[in-house]
Amino acid sequence: MTDTLAPAAQATASFLTDGATSVLDDAKRQLAAAIDILGYDDGLHAMLAVPRREMTVGVPLRRDDGTQQVFIGHRVQHSLTRGPAKGGVRYSPHVTLDEVRALAMWMTWKCALLDVPYGGAKGGVALDPAALSMSELERLTRRFTTEILPIIGPERDIPAPDIGTDERVMAWMLDTYSVASGYTVPGVVTGKPLALGGSRGRASATSRGVVHVALRALEHVAVPASGRTAAVQGFGKVGRDAAKFLTDADISVVAISDQYGAVYNGAGLNILDLADHVDKTGRVVGFSAAEALPPHELLELDVDLLVPAAVESVITVENAPRVRASVIVEGANGPTSTAADEILARNGALVVPDILANAGGVVVSYFEWVQGNQAYWWNAQDVEDRLSEKMSRAWDDVVSTARIRGLTLRAAAMVLAVERVADAHLLRGLYP
Protein backbone atom coordinates (compact mmCIF):
# COMPACT_ATOMS: atom_id res chain seq x y z
CA MET A 1 0.00 0.00 0.00
CA THR A 2 1.33 3.45 -0.94
CA ASP A 3 0.08 6.99 -0.57
CA THR A 4 0.20 7.54 -4.33
CA LEU A 5 -3.15 8.57 -5.80
CA ALA A 6 -4.51 6.89 -8.89
CA PRO A 7 -4.52 9.17 -11.97
CA ALA A 8 -8.27 9.87 -11.67
CA ALA A 9 -7.91 10.72 -7.99
CA GLN A 10 -4.93 12.95 -8.77
CA ALA A 11 -7.04 14.81 -11.33
CA THR A 12 -9.83 15.32 -8.81
CA ALA A 13 -7.42 16.53 -6.13
CA SER A 14 -5.85 18.90 -8.65
CA PHE A 15 -9.22 20.37 -9.57
CA LEU A 16 -10.05 20.92 -5.90
CA THR A 17 -6.78 22.61 -4.99
CA ASP A 18 -4.62 23.76 -7.86
CA GLY A 19 -4.34 25.84 -10.98
CA ALA A 20 -7.49 27.92 -10.67
CA THR A 21 -8.18 31.52 -11.47
CA SER A 22 -9.14 33.72 -8.53
CA VAL A 23 -12.86 33.50 -9.24
CA LEU A 24 -12.77 29.69 -9.28
CA ASP A 25 -10.59 29.74 -6.16
CA ASP A 26 -13.30 31.76 -4.42
CA ALA A 27 -16.02 29.35 -5.56
CA LYS A 28 -14.00 26.40 -4.27
CA ARG A 29 -13.28 28.08 -0.94
CA GLN A 30 -16.97 28.86 -0.41
CA LEU A 31 -17.87 25.25 -1.10
CA ALA A 32 -15.09 23.93 1.16
CA ALA A 33 -16.29 26.13 4.03
CA ALA A 34 -19.85 24.79 3.65
CA ILE A 35 -18.55 21.21 3.48
CA ASP A 36 -16.65 21.78 6.72
CA ILE A 37 -19.73 23.15 8.50
CA LEU A 38 -21.90 20.28 7.24
CA GLY A 39 -19.29 17.65 8.09
CA TYR A 40 -19.28 15.91 4.71
CA ASP A 41 -16.45 13.56 3.74
CA ASP A 42 -13.90 14.05 0.96
CA GLY A 43 -15.77 11.84 -1.48
CA LEU A 44 -18.97 13.86 -1.24
CA HIS A 45 -16.92 17.06 -1.42
CA ALA A 46 -15.41 15.90 -4.71
CA MET A 47 -18.85 14.95 -6.07
CA LEU A 48 -20.11 18.45 -5.31
CA ALA A 49 -17.02 20.25 -6.61
CA VAL A 50 -16.09 18.58 -9.87
CA PRO A 51 -18.29 19.41 -12.90
CA ARG A 52 -20.25 16.52 -14.34
CA ARG A 53 -19.57 17.51 -17.93
CA GLU A 54 -17.43 20.06 -19.78
CA MET A 55 -17.22 20.82 -23.48
CA THR A 56 -14.67 23.13 -25.10
CA VAL A 57 -15.20 23.82 -28.78
CA GLY A 58 -13.58 25.68 -31.60
CA VAL A 59 -16.09 28.03 -33.21
CA PRO A 60 -15.08 28.91 -36.79
CA LEU A 61 -16.53 32.11 -38.17
CA ARG A 62 -16.57 33.40 -41.74
CA ARG A 63 -16.11 37.15 -41.43
CA ASP A 64 -17.95 39.56 -43.70
CA ASP A 65 -14.78 40.15 -45.70
CA GLY A 66 -14.47 36.43 -46.46
CA THR A 67 -11.66 35.68 -44.01
CA GLN A 68 -12.02 32.96 -41.40
CA GLN A 69 -11.39 33.16 -37.67
CA VAL A 70 -11.74 30.57 -34.91
CA PHE A 71 -13.01 31.47 -31.44
CA ILE A 72 -12.95 29.27 -28.33
CA GLY A 73 -16.20 28.45 -26.59
CA HIS A 74 -17.10 26.47 -23.47
CA ARG A 75 -20.15 24.87 -21.88
CA VAL A 76 -19.85 23.47 -18.35
CA GLN A 77 -22.57 21.47 -16.62
CA HIS A 78 -21.65 21.51 -12.97
CA SER A 79 -24.52 19.42 -11.60
CA LEU A 80 -27.43 17.42 -12.99
CA THR A 81 -28.58 15.96 -9.67
CA ARG A 82 -31.71 18.08 -9.11
CA GLY A 83 -32.75 18.48 -12.74
CA PRO A 84 -31.50 19.71 -16.11
CA ALA A 85 -28.59 22.12 -16.10
CA LYS A 86 -29.36 25.84 -16.32
CA GLY A 87 -27.17 28.85 -16.95
CA GLY A 88 -26.30 31.75 -19.18
CA VAL A 89 -24.09 32.16 -22.22
CA ARG A 90 -21.71 35.10 -22.21
CA TYR A 91 -19.74 36.68 -25.01
CA SER A 92 -16.69 38.42 -23.56
CA PRO A 93 -12.96 38.63 -24.29
CA HIS A 94 -12.38 37.52 -20.71
CA VAL A 95 -14.19 34.17 -20.93
CA THR A 96 -12.02 31.29 -19.68
CA LEU A 97 -12.80 27.70 -18.79
CA ASP A 98 -12.10 28.32 -15.10
CA GLU A 99 -14.41 31.34 -15.04
CA VAL A 100 -17.16 29.25 -16.66
CA ARG A 101 -16.55 26.46 -14.14
CA ALA A 102 -16.96 28.88 -11.24
CA LEU A 103 -20.12 30.44 -12.66
CA ALA A 104 -21.64 27.02 -13.32
CA MET A 105 -20.95 26.00 -9.73
CA TRP A 106 -22.59 29.15 -8.39
CA MET A 107 -25.61 28.44 -10.61
CA THR A 108 -26.00 25.05 -8.93
CA TRP A 109 -26.13 26.65 -5.48
CA LYS A 110 -28.40 29.45 -6.73
CA CYS A 111 -30.96 27.02 -8.14
CA ALA A 112 -30.89 24.88 -5.00
CA LEU A 113 -31.22 27.88 -2.69
CA LEU A 114 -34.27 29.18 -4.56
CA ASP A 115 -35.66 25.62 -4.74
CA VAL A 116 -35.71 25.62 -8.54
CA PRO A 117 -35.41 22.06 -9.98
CA TYR A 118 -32.25 22.64 -11.98
CA GLY A 119 -28.55 22.01 -11.74
CA GLY A 120 -26.01 24.66 -12.65
CA ALA A 121 -24.40 25.32 -16.02
CA LYS A 122 -22.64 28.15 -17.79
CA GLY A 123 -21.24 28.82 -21.22
CA GLY A 124 -19.35 31.43 -23.13
CA VAL A 125 -17.25 32.35 -26.12
CA ALA A 126 -14.06 34.37 -25.78
CA LEU A 127 -14.76 37.36 -28.03
CA ASP A 128 -15.75 41.00 -28.05
CA PRO A 129 -19.27 41.08 -29.50
CA ALA A 130 -18.89 44.78 -30.33
CA ALA A 131 -16.14 43.83 -32.79
CA LEU A 132 -18.53 41.71 -34.86
CA SER A 133 -21.21 42.83 -37.28
CA MET A 134 -24.76 41.66 -36.68
CA SER A 135 -24.50 39.03 -39.42
CA GLU A 136 -21.18 37.81 -38.01
CA LEU A 137 -22.68 37.57 -34.53
CA GLU A 138 -25.57 35.52 -35.87
CA ARG A 139 -23.29 33.14 -37.76
CA LEU A 140 -21.06 32.71 -34.71
CA THR A 141 -24.05 32.06 -32.44
CA ARG A 142 -25.51 29.46 -34.78
CA ARG A 143 -22.15 27.69 -35.13
CA PHE A 144 -21.55 27.71 -31.35
CA THR A 145 -25.04 26.31 -30.80
CA THR A 146 -24.35 23.57 -33.35
CA GLU A 147 -21.06 22.68 -31.64
CA ILE A 148 -22.69 22.25 -28.21
CA LEU A 149 -25.89 20.72 -29.63
CA PRO A 150 -25.18 17.21 -28.25
CA ILE A 151 -25.34 18.36 -24.63
CA ILE A 152 -28.11 21.00 -24.59
CA GLY A 153 -31.88 20.63 -24.74
CA PRO A 154 -35.01 21.34 -22.67
CA GLU A 155 -34.45 18.22 -20.54
CA ARG A 156 -30.64 18.44 -20.56
CA ASP A 157 -29.28 21.98 -20.38
CA ILE A 158 -31.13 25.25 -20.98
CA PRO A 159 -29.02 28.32 -21.92
CA ALA A 160 -30.05 31.92 -21.19
CA PRO A 161 -28.63 35.42 -21.82
CA ASP A 162 -25.66 36.76 -19.90
CA ILE A 163 -22.96 39.39 -20.46
CA GLY A 164 -22.72 40.21 -24.17
CA THR A 165 -25.82 38.23 -25.16
CA ASP A 166 -29.53 39.07 -25.27
CA GLU A 167 -32.94 37.81 -26.39
CA ARG A 168 -31.90 38.08 -30.05
CA VAL A 169 -29.01 35.68 -29.43
CA MET A 170 -31.43 33.33 -27.66
CA ALA A 171 -33.75 33.47 -30.69
CA TRP A 172 -30.86 32.37 -32.93
CA MET A 173 -29.99 29.54 -30.54
CA LEU A 174 -33.64 28.47 -30.40
CA ASP A 175 -33.91 28.44 -34.20
CA THR A 176 -30.65 26.55 -34.71
CA TYR A 177 -31.60 23.86 -32.20
CA SER A 178 -35.16 23.60 -33.59
CA VAL A 179 -34.00 23.27 -37.19
CA ALA A 180 -31.66 20.44 -36.16
CA SER A 181 -34.51 18.77 -34.25
CA GLY A 182 -37.02 19.11 -37.07
CA TYR A 183 -39.62 20.93 -34.96
CA THR A 184 -39.84 24.03 -32.77
CA VAL A 185 -38.46 23.51 -29.26
CA PRO A 186 -39.33 26.63 -27.23
CA GLY A 187 -37.93 25.19 -23.97
CA VAL A 188 -34.35 24.88 -25.21
CA VAL A 189 -33.50 28.45 -24.10
CA THR A 190 -34.98 31.06 -21.81
CA GLY A 191 -34.72 34.83 -22.01
CA LYS A 192 -36.06 34.73 -25.55
CA PRO A 193 -38.42 37.27 -27.16
CA LEU A 194 -42.07 37.26 -26.09
CA ALA A 195 -43.10 36.46 -29.68
CA LEU A 196 -41.14 33.19 -29.44
CA GLY A 197 -42.49 32.11 -26.06
CA GLY A 198 -40.54 34.32 -23.69
CA SER A 199 -41.95 35.22 -20.30
CA ARG A 200 -43.21 38.61 -19.26
CA GLY A 201 -40.89 40.06 -16.66
CA ARG A 202 -37.87 37.98 -17.67
CA ALA A 203 -35.74 40.90 -18.90
CA SER A 204 -35.94 42.74 -15.57
CA ALA A 205 -36.23 39.70 -13.29
CA THR A 206 -32.67 39.75 -11.94
CA SER A 207 -32.97 43.46 -11.13
CA ARG A 208 -36.33 42.97 -9.41
CA GLY A 209 -34.89 40.17 -7.34
CA VAL A 210 -31.94 42.36 -6.31
CA VAL A 211 -34.29 45.09 -5.13
CA HIS A 212 -36.62 42.65 -3.33
CA VAL A 213 -33.79 41.42 -1.13
CA ALA A 214 -32.14 44.86 -0.86
CA LEU A 215 -35.29 46.24 0.76
CA ARG A 216 -35.46 43.27 3.13
CA ALA A 217 -31.78 43.71 3.99
CA LEU A 218 -32.17 47.43 4.75
CA GLU A 219 -35.06 46.60 7.05
CA HIS A 220 -32.98 43.85 8.65
CA VAL A 221 -30.24 46.28 9.68
CA ALA A 222 -32.83 48.89 10.68
CA VAL A 223 -31.84 51.58 8.17
CA PRO A 224 -34.66 54.19 8.37
CA ALA A 225 -37.03 54.22 5.40
CA SER A 226 -36.54 57.92 4.74
CA GLY A 227 -33.36 59.30 3.22
CA ARG A 228 -31.89 55.98 2.10
CA THR A 229 -29.06 56.27 -0.44
CA ALA A 230 -27.52 53.81 -2.86
CA ALA A 231 -24.69 53.43 -5.36
CA VAL A 232 -24.92 51.01 -8.27
CA GLN A 233 -21.86 49.68 -10.08
CA GLY A 234 -22.92 48.74 -13.60
CA PHE A 235 -25.65 50.09 -15.85
CA GLY A 236 -26.32 47.06 -18.01
CA LYS A 237 -28.76 44.16 -17.77
CA VAL A 238 -28.91 44.24 -13.97
CA GLY A 239 -27.76 47.68 -12.83
CA ARG A 240 -29.96 49.77 -15.08
CA ASP A 241 -33.30 48.32 -13.96
CA ALA A 242 -32.07 47.88 -10.39
CA ALA A 243 -31.38 51.62 -10.21
CA LYS A 244 -34.85 52.36 -11.57
CA PHE A 245 -36.58 50.01 -9.13
CA LEU A 246 -34.57 51.42 -6.20
CA THR A 247 -35.69 54.91 -7.19
CA ASP A 248 -39.29 53.67 -7.40
CA ALA A 249 -38.84 52.45 -3.81
CA ASP A 250 -37.83 55.99 -2.72
CA ILE A 251 -34.14 55.19 -2.42
CA SER A 252 -31.90 57.94 -3.75
CA VAL A 253 -29.36 56.48 -6.19
CA VAL A 254 -26.49 58.96 -5.98
CA ALA A 255 -23.85 57.22 -8.12
CA ILE A 256 -23.75 54.87 -11.10
CA SER A 257 -20.86 53.54 -13.15
CA ASP A 258 -20.26 51.54 -16.31
CA GLN A 259 -17.13 50.28 -18.05
CA TYR A 260 -16.29 53.80 -19.23
CA GLY A 261 -16.61 55.79 -16.00
CA ALA A 262 -18.92 56.90 -13.20
CA VAL A 263 -21.26 59.80 -12.39
CA TYR A 264 -22.40 61.25 -9.06
CA ASN A 265 -25.16 63.53 -7.83
CA GLY A 266 -25.55 63.85 -4.08
CA ALA A 267 -29.21 64.85 -4.46
CA GLY A 268 -29.95 61.70 -6.43
CA LEU A 269 -29.65 60.83 -10.11
CA ASN A 270 -32.64 60.98 -12.44
CA ILE A 271 -32.44 57.40 -13.70
CA LEU A 272 -34.78 57.86 -16.65
CA ASP A 273 -32.81 60.87 -17.90
CA LEU A 274 -29.55 58.99 -17.39
CA ALA A 275 -30.96 56.04 -19.33
CA ASP A 276 -31.86 58.35 -22.21
CA HIS A 277 -28.33 59.75 -22.16
CA VAL A 278 -26.83 56.23 -22.25
CA ASP A 279 -29.12 55.22 -25.12
CA LYS A 280 -27.81 58.17 -27.12
CA THR A 281 -24.13 58.06 -26.18
CA GLY A 282 -23.49 54.48 -25.07
CA ARG A 283 -22.03 55.47 -21.69
CA VAL A 284 -22.88 57.20 -18.42
CA VAL A 285 -19.99 59.67 -18.63
CA GLY A 286 -20.92 63.12 -19.86
CA PHE A 287 -24.36 63.11 -18.21
CA SER A 288 -25.06 66.81 -17.68
CA ALA A 289 -27.04 66.41 -14.43
CA ALA A 290 -24.13 64.80 -12.58
CA GLU A 291 -20.44 65.23 -11.94
CA ALA A 292 -17.75 62.78 -13.00
CA LEU A 293 -16.55 60.33 -10.36
CA PRO A 294 -13.47 58.10 -10.49
CA PRO A 295 -15.03 54.62 -10.90
CA HIS A 296 -13.16 53.04 -7.99
CA GLU A 297 -14.55 55.68 -5.62
CA LEU A 298 -18.13 54.54 -6.23
CA LEU A 299 -17.47 51.40 -4.17
CA GLU A 300 -16.25 53.52 -1.28
CA LEU A 301 -19.04 56.11 -1.06
CA ASP A 302 -20.82 56.73 2.24
CA VAL A 303 -24.18 55.24 1.24
CA ASP A 304 -26.66 52.89 2.88
CA LEU A 305 -26.70 50.41 0.02
CA LEU A 306 -24.05 49.32 -2.48
CA VAL A 307 -25.05 47.18 -5.45
CA PRO A 308 -22.07 45.78 -7.41
CA ALA A 309 -23.90 44.71 -10.57
CA ALA A 310 -21.14 44.46 -13.17
CA VAL A 311 -18.46 41.77 -13.10
CA GLU A 312 -16.55 39.50 -10.73
CA SER A 313 -13.90 40.42 -8.15
CA VAL A 314 -14.44 44.18 -7.77
CA ILE A 315 -14.45 44.28 -3.96
CA THR A 316 -11.01 43.07 -2.96
CA VAL A 317 -8.75 42.92 0.06
CA GLU A 318 -7.31 46.27 -1.07
CA ASN A 319 -10.53 48.31 -1.21
CA ALA A 320 -12.77 46.41 1.25
CA PRO A 321 -11.48 48.39 4.28
CA ARG A 322 -12.74 51.58 2.58
CA VAL A 323 -16.23 50.29 1.75
CA ARG A 324 -18.66 52.26 3.92
CA ALA A 325 -22.06 50.97 2.82
CA SER A 326 -24.14 49.32 5.54
CA VAL A 327 -25.55 46.78 3.10
CA ILE A 328 -23.91 45.26 0.00
CA VAL A 329 -26.24 43.37 -2.33
CA GLU A 330 -24.40 41.39 -4.98
CA GLY A 331 -26.14 41.96 -8.29
CA ALA A 332 -23.17 40.47 -10.16
CA ASN A 333 -21.75 36.98 -9.79
CA GLY A 334 -18.76 36.82 -7.46
CA PRO A 335 -18.09 40.55 -7.04
CA THR A 336 -16.55 40.09 -3.57
CA SER A 337 -13.40 38.08 -2.95
CA THR A 338 -13.23 35.70 0.02
CA ALA A 339 -10.64 37.85 1.79
CA ALA A 340 -12.72 40.99 1.21
CA ASP A 341 -15.78 39.18 2.58
CA GLU A 342 -13.99 38.63 5.87
CA ILE A 343 -13.01 42.30 6.09
CA LEU A 344 -16.57 43.47 5.41
CA ALA A 345 -17.92 41.11 8.07
CA ARG A 346 -15.44 42.41 10.65
CA ASN A 347 -16.46 45.97 9.77
CA GLY A 348 -20.14 45.19 10.38
CA ALA A 349 -21.38 45.36 6.78
CA LEU A 350 -24.21 43.04 5.77
CA VAL A 351 -23.37 41.25 2.51
CA VAL A 352 -26.26 39.63 0.66
CA PRO A 353 -24.55 36.96 -1.47
CA ASP A 354 -24.96 36.64 -5.20
CA ILE A 355 -26.58 33.19 -5.08
CA LEU A 356 -29.49 34.83 -3.27
CA ALA A 357 -29.40 38.44 -4.45
CA ASN A 358 -29.27 37.94 -8.21
CA ALA A 359 -31.34 34.74 -8.40
CA GLY A 360 -34.38 36.52 -9.82
CA GLY A 361 -33.21 35.81 -13.36
CA VAL A 362 -33.05 32.05 -12.97
CA VAL A 363 -36.35 32.03 -11.08
CA VAL A 364 -38.20 33.71 -13.95
CA SER A 365 -36.24 31.60 -16.44
CA TYR A 366 -37.75 28.62 -14.64
CA PHE A 367 -41.17 30.25 -14.95
CA GLU A 368 -40.55 30.73 -18.68
CA TRP A 369 -39.53 27.08 -19.08
CA VAL A 370 -42.67 25.94 -17.23
CA GLN A 371 -44.88 28.20 -19.35
CA GLY A 372 -43.27 26.92 -22.53
CA ASN A 373 -43.73 23.29 -21.50
CA GLN A 374 -47.40 23.97 -20.75
CA ALA A 375 -47.98 26.29 -23.74
CA TYR A 376 -49.76 28.59 -21.29
CA TRP A 377 -48.42 32.07 -20.53
CA TRP A 378 -48.91 34.08 -17.36
CA ASN A 379 -49.53 37.81 -17.12
CA ALA A 380 -46.92 40.21 -15.72
CA GLN A 381 -48.52 40.36 -12.28
CA ASP A 382 -48.52 36.57 -11.98
CA VAL A 383 -44.80 36.53 -12.72
CA GLU A 384 -44.06 39.36 -10.29
CA ASP A 385 -46.09 37.79 -7.48
CA ARG A 386 -44.42 34.40 -7.92
CA LEU A 387 -40.97 36.00 -8.07
CA SER A 388 -41.61 38.03 -4.92
CA GLU A 389 -42.77 34.92 -3.08
CA LYS A 390 -39.71 32.90 -4.13
CA MET A 391 -37.23 35.65 -3.20
CA SER A 392 -38.90 36.35 0.15
CA ARG A 393 -38.97 32.69 1.11
CA ALA A 394 -35.29 32.27 0.24
CA TRP A 395 -34.40 35.43 2.22
CA ASP A 396 -36.26 34.10 5.27
CA ASP A 397 -34.56 30.69 4.96
CA VAL A 398 -31.10 32.25 4.76
CA VAL A 399 -31.64 34.68 7.65
CA SER A 400 -33.04 31.89 9.82
CA THR A 401 -30.11 29.59 9.06
CA ALA A 402 -27.62 32.39 9.71
CA ARG A 403 -29.21 33.10 13.09
CA ILE A 404 -29.44 29.46 14.19
CA ARG A 405 -25.92 28.51 13.10
CA GLY A 406 -24.22 31.84 13.84
CA LEU A 407 -23.12 32.36 10.24
CA THR A 408 -22.85 35.20 7.76
CA LEU A 409 -25.57 35.36 5.12
CA ARG A 410 -23.14 34.02 2.51
CA ALA A 411 -22.12 31.05 4.63
CA ALA A 412 -25.75 30.36 5.52
CA ALA A 413 -26.84 30.51 1.88
CA MET A 414 -24.05 28.17 0.86
CA VAL A 415 -24.83 25.70 3.64
CA LEU A 416 -28.51 25.60 2.67
CA ALA A 417 -27.77 25.19 -1.04
CA VAL A 418 -25.00 22.62 -0.67
CA GLU A 419 -27.08 20.59 1.77
CA ARG A 420 -30.00 20.46 -0.66
CA VAL A 421 -27.81 19.27 -3.53
CA ALA A 422 -26.02 16.76 -1.28
CA ASP A 423 -29.32 15.39 0.03
CA ALA A 424 -30.54 14.88 -3.54
CA HIS A 425 -27.30 13.15 -4.48
CA LEU A 426 -27.41 10.85 -1.47
CA LEU A 427 -31.04 9.95 -2.14
CA ARG A 428 -30.27 9.10 -5.76
CA GLY A 429 -27.15 7.11 -4.87
CA LEU A 430 -24.14 6.49 -7.09
CA TYR A 431 -24.52 4.61 -10.38
CA PRO A 432 -23.43 1.90 -10.98
DSSP calls for 305-326: EEEE-S-SS-B-TTTGGG---S
* CB of 173 closer than 8 Å to CB of 101: no
Q: Can you tell me the distance from the alpha carbon of 2 to that of 168, in angstroms, rounded to the nearest whole number?
A: 56
Q: For the segment 400-428, what is each residue's pLDDT rounded down to a tens digit?
A: 999 999 999 999 999 999 999 999 999 99
Sheet holding 119-126, edge to edge: 53-62, 68-77, 119-126, 85-92, 157-161
* Mean pLDDT to the nearest integer, 242-251: 95
pLDDT at 365 > cutoff 60: yes
If asked whether residues 86 and 113 sit together in one domain, one would say yes
Closest CA relative to residue 223, chosen from 329, 325, 342, 357: 325
Q: What pLDDT does residue 347 have?
A: 92
pLDDT at 19 > cutoff 50: no
Q: For the segment 162-197, what is each residue's pLDDT rounded down to a tens digit?
A: 989 999 999 999 999 999 999 999 999 999 999 999
What is the number of structural domains in the chain? Answer: 3
Closest CA relative to residue 88, chosen from 58, 121, 116: 121
Q: What pLDDT does residue 337 have?
A: 87
Q: Answer whether residue 412 is part of any domain.
A: no
Q: Please, which pLDDT band fits residue 3 given cuts at 50, 70 and 90?
A: very low
pLDDT at 12 > cutoff 70: no
Q: Please, which pLDDT band fits residue 15 given cuts at 50, 70 and 90?
A: low
Domain range holding 237?
A: 205-357
Closest CA relative to residue 248, chosen from 210, 279, 299: 210
Q: For the segment 285-317, what is each residue's pLDDT rounded down to a tens digit?
A: 999 999 999 999 999 999 999 999 987 778 999
If asked whether residues 351 and 273 sit together in one domain, one would say yes
For 58, the enclosing helix (H) or strand (E) is strand 53-62
If asked whether residues 33 and 140 sit together in one domain, one would say no
Given 139, 157, 188, the domain boundary residue is: 188
If asked whether residues 165 and 232 sit together in one domain, one would say no
* Mean pLDDT to the nearest integer, 125-150: 97
Q: Can you tell me the distance from the alpha carbon of 247 to that of 251, in angstroms, rounded to the nearest whole number?
A: 5
| DSSP track, 70-118 | EEEEEEEE---SSSSEEEEEEEETT--HHHHHHHHHHHHHHHHHTT-S-
Given 334, 357, 380, the domain boundary residue is: 357
Q: Answer whether residue 22 is part of any domain.
A: yes
What's this model's pTM, rounded to 2 decimal places?
Answer: 0.87
Closest CA relative to residue 341, chosen from 324, 314, 320: 320
CATH of the domain at 352: 3.40.50.720
If asked whether residues 251 and 213 sit together in one domain, one would say yes
Omega before residue 186 within 30° of 0, cis:
no
If asked whether residues 164 and 227 sit together in one domain, one would say no
* Mean pLDDT to the nearest integer, 388-395: 94
Does the active-site annotation cover 244? no
Q: Can you tell me the distance from the alpha carbon of 307 to that of 298, in angstroms, rounded to the nearest whole number?
A: 10
Among 28, 110, 122, 390, the active-site one is: 122
Q: Answer whether residue 384 is part of any domain.
A: no
Q: Answer whether residue 231 is part of any domain.
A: yes
What single DSSP character describes residue 5?
Answer: P
Q: For the segment 34-44, what is each residue's pLDDT rounded down to a tens digit?
A: 999 999 999 99
Q: Answer whether residue 107 is part of any domain.
A: yes
If asked whether residues 61 and 175 sit together in one domain, one would say yes
Q: Answer whether residue 78 is part of any domain.
A: yes
pLDDT at 20 > cutoff 90: no
Between CA 391 and CA 396, with CA 34 as vertex, the angle to 5 degrees is: 25
Given 357, 387, 411, the domain boundary residue is: 357
pLDDT at 48 > cutoff 70: yes
Q: Answer whether residue 364 is part of any domain.
A: no
Mean residue pLDDT of the chain comes to 91
Q: Answer whether residue 386 is part of any domain.
A: no
If asked whether residues 66 and 21 sit together in one domain, one would say no
If asked whether residues 178 and 244 sit together in one domain, one would say no
If asked whether residues 29 and 118 sit together in one domain, one would say no
Closest CA relative to residue 171, chosen from 196, 204, 143, 153: 196
If asked whether residues 64 and 148 sit together in one domain, one would say yes
If asked whether residues 353 and 210 sit together in one domain, one would say yes
